[in-house]
Chains A and B, each alone.
Chain A
Amino acid sequence: MVKTDKNIETQLITPKIIIDADNAILGRLCSEVAKHLLDGYAVNIVNCENAIISGKRHSVLNEYRAMHKIHTHTNPRRGPFHPKRPDRLVRRTVRGMLPWKKSKGRNAYHRLLTYIGIPEEFSGLEIIKPKHADANKLDCKKITVGNLCKEFGWQE
């Protein structure tokens, strides 16, 4: 899990949203989350393993495999790193939609937390669905983030 803003006062003031990634299209979900973050919200995403990527299984896998080949030539341990756990993969996808080189973007990123499943502490809280990311409107083939990550070695 990731460190949040250490300043308790700002944590109290920051309004928090919990978003359900179940059956949500990954890119559309993440762009919506990025918008919320830049507006100053703290966002928690639950059920990350059930987010959906559209496309044939093998073509999605090939795209990610090609991405995994990108690393420092002289020392792969220096990155860039490619997360292989559903919650981290979703978090990394949001990072790509934030102005990472500006402090505005970095601070926004630190307000984002992602989870596999729904943690116990969220029981009874309002969990909202993203507005424009429903995967039911897709009539093509699709793959869940969880299944994708299993290909890369994630053990459920």
Chain B
Amino acid sequence: MGHRRVSAPHRSSLGYRRVRARRIVPAPRAWQSYEGAPKLLGFLGIKAGMTHCEYLEDRPRSHLVNREVTVAVTCIETPPNVVFGLRGYKKSPYGLKIVADLITTETKDELKRRVKPPKQYDLEKAKKKFEEHLEEIVELRAIIHTQPYLTGIGMKTPQIAEIKIGCSKIEEGYQYGLSLLGKEMLIRDVFKAGEFVDTIGVTKGKGFQGPVKRHGIKILQHKSKGTKRGVGSIGPWTPSRTMWTIPRSGQMGFNVRTEYNKRIMQIGSDGSQIVPKGGFVKYGVVKNNYVLLKGSVPGPKKRTILLREPVRKAPQHEKEPQILYISTRSQQG
């Protein structure tokens, strides 16, 4: 006679809060503590789709080393990001606080769709004010915007984000930030092929879902009373309330999720070499620079994804992987 086991592992992770993301471009909680020549520690791109490629395995410990390996890769289109502002943070007992910021007066017209430029603004005055506070500033961030109108997805309004400027001395970082103001940053200026990045994005939204899809509980037998797509028991008689651990229906997806240490397989500028015949489904062709990341990335196609310098210890492979073949087979039937 078989019967239900007395205890069983929980059906879904309780480590994540299943709440909707507040905005579509996430603000990361942490940045790498970088030392060295000043540089931006992140870049915004747009997820285009997935394909697969073959490359020579170069992880020295792998049993497939120096042999051809097939891996799935995600293509992220990365039109140049434009730096249009700087922001300085000081340390306070209650966390980082903004002390100074400045914006270029020469911004692109498309940016007006997202932010209203100040009418009377003196950049020189703002610079002076910024320099007065340089001593107390501990973190510098560049304010950037994307250029989705350069892609074929039909999106006009740019997304804006703050990206940390990594530097050993704040003075150096500030001069570097000033030199970037109003200029376009290419993905090659920030990352190189072979390096590792973290990807932060908002996952696919699934709406309000029941516990079977949301938590993966079992569907009960067809003779169950009331419902068969619910939990068998939502808890004991006392306490006469539902515990927070019970899988219930609610919002599924559209959460901010960070995935760590994804290897950049290739950074390229000619999209025709990687786009499948007929284009990526629900995306189209890649017109700008692109990044091929090993593995998957959270979110649907056309979602803005933040690539960030890894905050956790990444494996040491700095060589560019040798790619032998990238599949461009049609993805439509």
Residues of chain A touching chain B, judged by Cβ–Cβ distance below 8 Å, are 1, 73-77, 87, 115-117, 156
Q: What total count of A-B pairs have CB within 8 Å?
A: 18
Q: List 12 A-B contacts (CB under 8 A).
A: A1-B94, A73-B239, A73-B243, A74-B239, A74-B242, A75-B243, A75-B244, A115-B93, A116-B93, A116-B94, A117-B93, A156-B93
Interface core residue of A73, A74, A76, A87 (most chain B CB under 10 Å): A74
B225 close to chain A: CB less than 8 A:
no
B93-A76 in contact (CB<8A): no
Check B113 for interface membership: any CB of A closer than 8 A.
Answer: no
B240-269 contacts to A (CB < 8 Å): 241-244
CB distance from A122 to the nearest CB of B (A): 14
Task: Give the CA-CA distance A73 to B94 in the complex, in Å.
Answer: 30
- Chain B residue with the shortest CB-CB distance to A74: B241
8 new A-B pairs (CB below 8 Å) besides A73-B239, A74-B239, A156-B93? Answer: A73-B243, A74-B242, A74-B243, A74-B244, A75-B243, A77-B244, A116-B94, A117-B93
**Distance A1 CA – B244 CA, assembled complex (angstroms):** 29
| Distance of B12 from chain A, by nearest CB (Å) | 17
Complex CA–CA separation, A73 to B239 (angstroms): 9
Distance between Cα atoms of A108 and B239 in the complex (Å):
35
CA–CA, A115 and B93, complex, Å: 9
How many of chain B's residues have a CB under 8 angstroms from any CB in A? 7
A75 to B243, CA, bound (A): 6
Closest to A117 in B: B93
Q: A155: nearest residue on chain B (CB-CB)? A: B95
Q: What residue of chain A has the Cβ atom nearest to residue B240's Cβ?
A: A74
Residues of A within 8 A of B241 (CB): 74
> 1/0 contact trace for B213-248 toward A, CB 8 Å?
000000000000000000000000001011110000
Main secondary structure of the interface of A (DSSP, over half): loop
Determine which residue in A75, A76, A77, A117 has the highest number of CB atoms from chain B within 10 A of its CB, and name it: A75
Tell whether, in the assembled complex, residue B94 and residue A76 are in contact, meaning their CB atoms are under 8 Å apart.
no
Residue numbers of B with Cβ under 8 A of A are 93-94, 239, 241-244
Residues on B with beta carbons closer than 8 Å to the beta carbon of A77: 244
List the B side residues contacting A116 at CB < 8 Å: 93-94
For B94, the chain A residues whose CB sits under 8 A away are: 1, 116
Kindly report which residue of chain B lies nearest to residue A78, judged by CB atoms. Answer: B244
Q: Which among B241, B242, B244 has the highest number of chain A CB atoms within 10 Å?
A: B244
A76: which B residues are within 8 A, CB to CB? 244
Q: Considering the complex of A and B, which 8 residue pairs feature the smallest CB-CB distances, nearest first? A: A116-B93, A75-B244, A74-B241, A74-B243, A117-B93, A74-B239, A73-B239, A74-B244
Residues of B within 8 Å of A1, CB to CB, are: 94
B244: chain A residues at CB < 8 Å are 74-77
The answer for the CA separation of A22 and B244 in the assembled complex, in Å, is 41
Smallest Cβ-Cβ distance to B93: which chain A residue: A116
Docked pose: A30 CA to B239 CA in angstroms:
36
Q: Which of B93, B239, B242, B244 has the most CB of A within 10 A?
A: B93
**Within 8 Å CB of B239, what residues of A?**
73-74
Alpha-carbon separation in the docked complex, A77 to B241 (Å):
14
How far apart are the CA atoms of A117 and B94 in the complex, in Å? 11
> A116 CA to B95 CA in the complex, in Å?
12
Alpha-carbon separation in the docked complex, A1 to B243 (Å):
32
Determine the residue in chain A with the shortest Cβ distance to B95. A155
A74 to B243, CA, bound (A): 4
Shortest distance from the beta carbon of B93 to any chain A beta carbon, whole Å? 4
A20 → chain B, closest Cβ, in Å? 16
User: Taking the nearest CB of chain A, how far is it from the CB of B64, in angstroms?
Assistant: 43
Neighbouring B residues of A73 by C-beta, 8 Å:
239, 243
For residue B16, give the distance in angstroms from its CB to the closest CB of chain A.
Answer: 14
In whole angstroms, how far apart are the Cα atoms of A75 and B94 in the complex?
A: 27
Give the chain A neighbours of B242 by CB distance below 8 A. 74
User: Which residues of chain B have C-beta atoms less than 8 A from A75's C-beta?
Assistant: 243-244
- Chain B residue nearest to A48 (CB atoms) is B93
CB distance from A95 to the nearest CB of B (A): 20
- Chain A residues, Cβ within 8 Å of B93: 87, 115-117, 156
- In the bound complex, CA of A73 to CA of B93 (Å): 32
User: Which B residue's beta carbon lies closest to that of A87?
Assistant: B93
A113 shortest CB reach to chain B, Å: 13
